[in-house]
Amino acid sequence: MAGPREVLRRRARETPDRRAYVFLDEHGAEVDALTDGELHARARGTAVRLTAHARPGDRALLVFAPGLEFLVAFFACLEAGVIAVPVAPPRRGHVQDATRRIVADADPALVLADAATTTAARAALAPHLRWLRVGGVAAGPPDDGPADPATPAFLQYTSGSTAAPKGVVVTHGALAANQEMIRRAFGHDATSTFVGWAPLFHDQGLIGNVLQPLHLGTLAVLMAPSTFIRRPLLWPETVSRYRARTSGGPDFAFAACVAAARRTGLPEGLDLSCWTVAFDGAEPLRPSTLRDFATTFAPAGLDPGALYPCYGLAEATLLVTGSRPGRGPRFLDVDPDALARGRLRPGTRTLVGSGEVLPGEEVRIVDPDTGAPCADGEVGEIRVAGGHVTAGYWRNPTATAATFGGGELRTGDLGALVDGELYVVGRRSDVVVVRGRNHHPGDLEATVLGAHPALAPCGPATTAAFGLPDDEGGGERVVVVGEVRDDADRDGIAGAVRAAVLREHDLALAAVVLTRPGALPRTSSGKIRRRAAREMHLAGGFPAPGAAPSG
């Protein structure tokens, strides 16, 4: 199987004038575009400059504002044999601590950046390194042959939602294998136009919205994440305008569109009959979100069967399991008490399936302590094997052995297989044990979100549940944090949250903390960093609703 470097070379030879990528501004207007030939020529030109300052195997930090210059830099690294290290650009001139840790860990030889980012971040991020701009063109085919499948293509640093970021070593071979898995699982072909807004330094944005369209030879229409956040309905409007077949994002994005549509109504002329794969992944799947999205956008022609739950992680390149195109989500009603004991039995709590095991891989559910296989419907750790599993963590043999040892990937995620469908119920490290019962934070957070209407307007990814040691009774006690507006009835909200959690989970909360919107720590993809939230709570707490952001 050909990797992205070879695919771009072939596209540049065979279809040099094909529009490959389009970038939109916050109003939906096209502000940049690249053909196959232009992307290849600019990447080759930048690669020539790279080789003057870096050798194959060196790392290059990629620090770019949203836009197509990032693509030129990424493919330049592939052409030069330099390992790309995409990172989040600075926000309002502030360099995130996670980015500084990535720089220290990756030990890059240089930085590729756009002009604005260079000005904003050079002195604060890596003043000791050479900073290069993308630029120049080079004609003609390269002299070297295909990339070694075992050679690293780039480092995808984990989000840090549960620990310090680690650099996942994504090889050319793993990329090629996962691209073909995605193509088959999603039912893609050369007519599968994409629309995407996920960050390009994140695996969903880079692998799903950039490399997969190139693999297929189809158009990708891209926009900045901030554009989606400010104007959620521009996302489905763009799907309608370009007649896109594939587009998706985390669960919160679908909920944001529902909330926006309820406020303003559906955009005039919206036609989503073209949208056949609306993939939902990267964070816990909420049945209410999927059902509300299907109902809200049905008048615009959205087929509910287009909703496509999936599951993946950076250590498996991207995709692990996925639904079937046109089938729609699978829901499973389970008993909360049985779930707390590690079994899926009929009951009142609804779980969303994350799809089926795909050809070319093996997915097992095992006891996380003994490795013994779990029966159908029993909760255990999800383990994955296949050509798409990555090569481990950059310069971290201890973590690599712990996660990738034994010939399979230990995901750290808990789930169960029922009739061939994977149901993900949480992370092993996040499980809270109270009086001998396991409570999954995602379930608690879903209950908190639905406990009071003042919590919902802030969006779904606005609550965090975590455990603290219970010095008196042993085990743990549970704290929940929720973001609310400054004019909210705090006492009423806290009481409603306590009552809902007691009713649904038979659990008395140790504390209900209410804070201002945006106060909870998040990863680059918008997921709540529960461990960081726990540390913030222990270190002094969260700002009250209405308090001004610090810094």
First-last CA distance in the chain: 48
What integer pLDDT is reported at residue 163 of this predicted model? 52
* The amino acid at 4: P
DSSP H or E segment with residue 443: helix 441-449
C-beta neighbour count of 514 within 10 angstroms: 21
CATH class of 310-429: mainly beta
Neighbour-count burial of 419, counting CB atoms closer than 10 A to its CB (0-12 exposed, 13-18 middle, 19+ buried): exposed
User: 441-539 adopts what CATH topology?
Assistant: GMP Synthetase; Chain A, domain 3 (3.30.300)
**Assigned token pair, 523:** 């990863």
Nearest alpha carbon to residue 242 among 211, 266, 207, 275: 275
For residue 137, CA distances in Å to 5, 76, 131 come to: 16, 11, 19
Cα 256 versus chain centre, distance: 16
Where in the chain is CATH 3.40.50.12780? 4-231
CA 294/CA 308 separation, integer angstroms = 11
How far is Cα 484 from Cα 496, in angstroms, rounded to an integer? 14
Q: What pLDDT is attached to residue 124?
A: 87
Q: CA-to-CA distance for 371 and 361, rounded, in angstroms?
A: 18
* Closest-CA residue to 108 (of 40, 54, 156, 184): 54
Q: How many helices (H) and strands (E) does the chain have?
A: 17, 26
Provide the token pair at 63: 């620090």
Pairing of strands 409-418, 380-386: antiparallel
Ranges of CATH 3.30.300.30 domains, the chain = 441-539
Given this model, what pLDDT does residue 75 score? Answer: 97
293 beta partners = none
Residue range(s) in the chain whose domain bears CATH number 2.30.38.10: 310-429
* pLDDT per residue as tens, the chain (551 positions): 789 999 999 999 999 999 999 999 999 999 999 999 999 999 999 999 999 999 999 999 999 999 999 999 999 999 999 999 999 888 777 787 778 889 999 999 999 999 999 988 898 898 999 999 998 887 665 667 888 999 999 999 985 444 567 999 999 999 999 999 999 999 999 999 999 999 999 999 999 999 999 999 999 999 999 999 999 999 999 999 999 999 999 888 998 999 999 999 999 999 999 999 999 987 778 899 999 999 999 999 999 999 999 999 999 999 999 999 999 999 999 998 898 889 999 999 899 999 999 999 999 999 988 999 999 999 999 999 999 999 999 999 999 999 998 889 999 999 999 999 999 998 777 778 776 677 888 888 988 988 888 886 555 568 999 988 876 555 678 999 999 887 778 899 999 999 999 887 878 999 999 999 889 988 766 778 888 898 899 888 899 887 655 54
DSSP per-residue string spanning 174-205: HHHHHHHHHHHHHT--TT--EEE-S-TTSHII
Cβ within 8 Å of residue 409, ≥6 positions away: 315, 316, 383, 384, 385, 389, 403
Planar angle of CA 215, 220, 226, nearest 5 degrees = 130
CB atoms under 10 Å from CB of 492, counted, come to 11
Q: Is 436 left (phi over 0), alpha (psi -120 to 50) or beta?
A: left
User: Which DSSP string do the residues of 111-155 spell out, in sequence order?
Assistant: EEE-HHHHHHHHHHH-TTSEEE-------S--SS-PPPTTSEEEE
pLDDT value at position 341? 85
Question: CA dist 223 to 11, 235, 245, 251, 298, Å?
Answer: 23, 9, 17, 18, 24
* CA 355/CA 187 separation, integer angstroms: 14
Give the per-residue pLDDT at 162: 43
Using CA atoms, how far residue 511 sits from 8, 213, 468, in Å, is 54, 47, 11
* pLDDT score at 381: 97
381, 366 in Cβ contact below 8 A?
yes
How far apart (Å, rounded) are the C-alpha atoms in residues 411 and 427? 9
**Distance from the Cα of residue 381 to its chain's centroid:** 20
Both tokens of residue 4? 């992205």
Q: How would you class 347 by CB atoms within 10 Å of its CB: exposed for 0-12, middle for 13-18, buried for 19 or more?
A: middle
At 336 the pLDDT is: 86
Question: Which amino acid makes up residue 74?
Answer: F
Does 4-231 carry CATH code 3.40.50.12780? yes
Helical pair 251-264 and 234-242, crossing angle rounded to 10 deg: 100
Coil, strand or helix at 470: coil
